[in-house]
Each structure stands twice: as structure tokens, then as C-alpha cells.
Amino acid sequence: MTEASGRKSLTDPTAMRALAHPARLAILNRLQAEGACTATEVAEVVGITPSAASYHLRMLAKYGFVEDAPARGDGRGDGRERLWRSSAGGFSVSPDPDDGPDVRSAKEFLIKAFREQAADEASRALEGLERESREWREAAMFNRAVMLVDAEELRMLNERIDELLAPYKTTVRDRENAPPGARVAEAQISLFPRARRRPHGLPRDG
């Protein structure tokens, strides 16, 4: 998973392994998708106890992934509840040739966790697609493209795609000014050079 330049680049192995916990990834996804919420509200969505949610939120805050949010002004809060939100600016995680073994291992671990979460989200969307309106079914796309590019072209594609998506991200777009009918959607982008496949050889008879 990569994000636009200017976001915080993760290099701390401890922080990356802390984030890779499934419950913490689910909590961060909830905050990014729906905005600020309490530990109890997080717990209801993620399927854990409020005390466990509080612990995971504190761990996420320790490494700068979430932060305290201002009190609600819509009358839903009593002024004593603690609200959390995802940290401003976001972050990125990308392998680097200069990474040491610990950093490289932690990045691979976190990227795999991101991909597992993304695959689960895509599977749930696909399973529920028939229950969506015609408008949303036609707007959805599950695509895969095989390209012939050099490294610079691949890098430029990554930048252009991120620039295109940036104004629509839930952490950027003002929900009050979004068009009627807007809802949380997801783009899953992976750009990478294919690894060479070693031939398996022909199976032997018998």
C-alpha cells in the first residue's frame, strides 16, 4: 500500500507491527470511513469489548495513527465522552532498497495485513453487489490490468492515480458539501513489477 508523497512514511518496525493487528486496522478503517467516534462505538463495529477498543485506540495513539477529536456539537455527546479520530496527514508504507532487515520484515508484514483487509472488503462488496441499486452496480468496477511500462512510468502512474483520488478521500472531503447520495466507497490500487515465474516442469506419468 502506498500513499501520496507528503504523507508520513513509516520506518519504525515497532509502530508498523503494532498497526498490523487486525483489530487496530479495523478501528483505523472505521475512523477514516465514518469520522470521529468513541471507544464504545468502535467496539460495536469491530466486534470487541469497549475496554479492548480503548486499549487498541491508546496503542494507535501511542504511535501517532489516531488522536483526540473535538467534542461533538450535534447534541449526541455529554461533554465527558472521549472522541477519537484518525491523525491528519495520513501515512505511507513502501519497501525501500536501503531498508534494514527489521524494517523490511515489518513493512512486508504490514503490507500483507493491509492486503488481507482489502481483500475481505472487496469480497464483502462483491457478495452484496446484487442488493445494491442499479446505479451503484453500474458504477462499481473490479478490474485488473497487465501493463508494459518502465519504472518511471509506473511511478508516474502511481502519482497520477493518487492525485485523482485525493479530493474524494474521506479524510479530506467535507461530508456536508458532498453531493446527495454520496457514501463511503473504496479504491484498491496495487502497482508493482511482476516477479518472474519459475517453470514447474512437466508432470511425470504415473
Per-residue H/E/C for the chain: CCCCCCCEECCCHHHHHHHCCHHHHHHHHHHHHHCCECHHHHHHHHCCCHHHHHHHHHHHHHCCCEEECCCCCCCCCCCCCCCEEECCCCEECCCCCCCCHHHHHHHHHHHHHHHHHHHHHHHHHHHCHHHCCHHHHHHCCCCCCCCCCCHHHHHHHHHHHHHHHHHHCCCCCCHHHCCCCCCCCCCCCCCCCCCCCCCCCCCCCC
Q: What angle do CA 176, 179, 180 make, to 5 degrees?
A: 95
CATH top class, domain 8-140: mainly alpha
pTM here?
Answer: 0.77
Is the pLDDT at 63 greater than 60? The verdict is: yes
Place of cell 525501500: 96
Is the pLDDT at 81 greater than 90? The verdict is: no
Q: How far apart are CA 168 and CA 139, in angstroms?
A: 15
Is the pLDDT at 139 greater than 90? The verdict is: yes
Across the range 97-116, mean pLDDT stands at: 94
Q: Residue 4: pLDDT band by 50, 70, 90 thresholds?
A: very low
- Per-residue burial over 141-161, b if 16 or more Cβ lie within 10 Å, else e, is eeeeeeeeeeeeeeeeebeee
Cβ atoms within 10 Å of 19's Cβ, excluding its own: 23
Across the range 77-82, mean pLDDT stands at: 68
pLDDT at 206 (0 to 100): 61
* 21-35, 65-79, 187-201: which is most confident: 21-35
Delimit the domains of the chain by residue range: 8-140
Q: Residue 2: pLDDT band by 50, 70, 90 thresholds?
A: very low
Is the pLDDT at 8 greater than 90? The verdict is: no
pLDDT mean across residues, the chain:
89
Q: Cell numbers of 42, please?
A: 468502535
Is the pLDDT at 80 greater than 50? The verdict is: yes
pLDDT at 5 (0 to 100): 45
